[in-house]
Amino acid sequence: MAMSSNLDPIIAIATAPGRGGIGVIRISGSGLRPWAEGLCGQPLKDRHAHFLRFVDRHGEIMDEGLALFFPGPHSYTGEDVLELQGHGGPAVLQRVLQDCLARGQAMGLRLAQPGEYTQRAFLNDRLDLAQAEAVADLIEASSLAAARSAMASLSGAFSAEIQVLSGAIVQLRTLVEATLDFPEEEIDFLEKYQAAERLRAVLEHLEQVLQTARSGLVLREGLHVVLAGQPNVGKSSLLNALAGDEIAIVTPIAGTTRDRVVQDIHIDGVPLHVVDTAGLRETDDPVERLGIARSWAEIARAQVIVHLQDARQPGDALDEAIVARLPAGTPVLNVFNKVDLLDDVARAAPGASVAARQAVAGGPVPGGPIEALAVSARTGEGLDALRTRLLQIAGRTPGSESPWLARARHVQALEAAQGHLQQAAAHAAHSDEVLDLFAEELRLAHEALGEITGEFSSDDLLGQIFSSFCIGK
């Protein structure tokens, strides 16, 4: 989306499509008051609700409702804003909208593009870029936890952290630039101003912000969890148990699931995109082979793999072959299902399976780099432990909340800033011989942080961000 001009007044229906009790039409532009008062047929008191009839340019009553005028810069967009609140029927809203467009043709009134109101709020310094993105995140929040964190971002909690980090870097930049400008002073910059210690403190703070941002990213986008394993180990039953509904077809016949089944669930406010896949095995059935290929494709892009096994037959050759093909670096939970079918002797025997011993112990059994958990999809045994572990992988603990939401670009910018600061720390080890390189890495780190709040942002980035908003916001 091209950057819009603040000179053009814009209009849009601000409420969601469909029928509703109330519908809102929002108009924003500079110097809007004379036109707004002419439209409403009376003077408009600032931030005051005026009850009136909406009369078209031919004198016919279209609707009745409220008109509110917000003078710039003390409005959402920073411009003059007129809101017309009437009945929420699509036909009546469109009628009022089209009449306003006809009346505003002379002054260039046009339909707003997606996100253009919030874009103008950003361009007029009413919001920074992270806060502007939080507007969309608040609207799209799929859980109470996400809504709270989005509101915290909109209120400036995330931006405040970035400003503290940027301020500390600016102080270092000021000192080092002064040293570079006056080399005759022969100041040992790194030692005199404790630059290395200051930089270390900034890096520690940045690491804390980065970890919180990663948690906020999971809260916003969710965690991609793939249930993998050989046929008839209970993947579909586990999906149904986690979802609390009969999402996937369950039968005793191995290979019932031929294609992936995706279900979005929430655990303590964190969205999980759980994928049930076809059982992994060698087969001559062309349809099943296609399903298995899709299963491996899902596994390749998983953020967490739940490798499900039958607790009665753990660790057989096929499961070992599956483990050997799992992607390196992806967290794997080795989950043993059907523990309810183990008898007491099998659970307590010295040679019992990992799942059986865990069921007796009532908690996870260390199993090397791949954790072991025991569950019963049929009775619910062990499901709470599985949910808790998935939350921990997502960077959360039960009952906790992320202080703010984050997006992938925020995490990438923080990681870039961290890399530049680490490089600056490496230059600092060479004393003042490389102060110019030290200063350059500080500048690059500062710019990376500025991309988050919009201090350093390209028009292409802004267009991409705001084009994803709904119309009217």
What is the CATH classification number for the domain harbouring 358? 3.40.50.300
164, 277: one domain: no
Contact between residue 37 and residue 44 where contact means Cβ atoms under 8 Å apart: yes
pTM given for the model: 0.77
3-state SS class at 263: strand
CB atoms within 10 A of CB 77: 26
183, 244: one domain: no
Burial 10-20 (b: 16+ CB within 10 A, else e): bbbbbbeeeee
Asked if residue 319 belongs to a domain, the reply is yes
Mean pLDDT, range 57-67, rounded to an integer: 94
pLDDT confidence of residue 343: 66
Contact between residue 328 and residue 302 where contact means Cβ atoms under 8 Å apart: no
> How many whole angstroms separate alpha carbon 191 and alpha carbon 254?
70
User: Angle at which helices 435-453 and 157-181 pack, to 10 degrees?
Assistant: 160
Asked if residue 340 belongs to a domain, the reply is yes
Contact between residue 9 and residue 109 where contact means Cβ atoms under 8 Å apart: yes
pLDDT confidence of residue 178: 67
Asked if residue 39 belongs to a domain, the reply is yes
Helix spans in 41-154 (H)? 90-103, 116-123, 129-140, 144-154
Q: What percent of the chain has pLDDT over 70?
A: 83
pLDDT confidence of residue 142: 80
Residue ending a domain, among 93, 126, 159, is 126
pLDDT confidence of residue 400: 66
Report CA-CA distances (Å) from 431 to 130, 153, 183. Answer: 36, 39, 14
Burial 377-400 (b: 16+ CB within 10 A, else e): bbeeebbebbbbbbbeebbbeeee
411, 387: one domain: no
376, 440: one domain: no
Q: What confidence tier does 350 reach under pLDDT thresholds 50, 70, 90?
A: very low
115, 145: one domain: no
> How many whole angstroms separate alpha carbon 257 and alpha carbon 291?
8
Q: What confidence tier does 113 reach under pLDDT thresholds 50, 70, 90?
A: very high
Asked if residue 213 belongs to a domain, the reply is yes
> How many whole angstroms separate alpha carbon 190 and alpha carbon 204?
18
> How many whole angstroms separate alpha carbon 304 and alpha carbon 393?
8
370, 270: one domain: yes
**Residue with the larger pLDDT of the pair 103 and 315:** 103
Q: What percent of the chain has pLDDT over 90?
A: 40
**Residue 398 scores a pLDDT above 80:** no
Domain count, the chain: 3
Report CA-CA distances (Å) from 398 to 220, 268, 358, 363, 385. Answer: 17, 6, 22, 17, 11
pLDDT confidence of residue 346: 56
pLDDT confidence of residue 189: 59
> How many whole angstroms separate alpha carbon 387 and alpha carbon 391?
6
Q: What confidence tier does 256 reach under pLDDT thresholds 50, 70, 90?
A: very low
41, 67: one domain: yes
pLDDT confidence of residue 31: 93
Contact between residue 234 and residue 252 where contact means Cβ atoms under 8 Å apart: no
Residue with tokens 């006056």: 182
266, 338: one domain: yes
CB atoms within 10 A of CB 344: 9
160, 232: one domain: no
253, 186: one domain: no
Asked if residue 3 belongs to a domain, the reply is no
Burial 401-436 (b: 16+ CB within 10 A, else e): bbebbbbebbbebbebbbebbebbbebbeeebebbe
Contact between residue 286 and residue 258 where contact means Cβ atoms under 8 Å apart: no
The token pair that represents 362 in the structure block: 């009532």
Mean pLDDT of the chain: 83
Burial 244-282 (b: 16+ CB within 10 A, else e): eeebbebeeeebbbbebbebebebbbbbbbbbbbbbbbe
Asked if residue 413 belongs to a domain, the reply is yes
Residue 108: give its domain's CATH number: 3.30.1360.120
Distance of CA 40 to the CA centre of its chain: 41
User: Which domain range does residue 318 map to?
Assistant: 225-393
pLDDT confidence of residue 270: 85
213, 229: one domain: no
| pLDDT tens profile 212-232 | 998 888 888 888 999 988 888
The DSSP 8-state label assigned to residue 139 in this structure reads: H
230, 213: one domain: no
> How many whole angstroms separate alpha carbon 158 and alpha carbon 229?
40
Asked if residue 443 belongs to a domain, the reply is yes
**Residue 251 scores a pLDDT above 50:** no
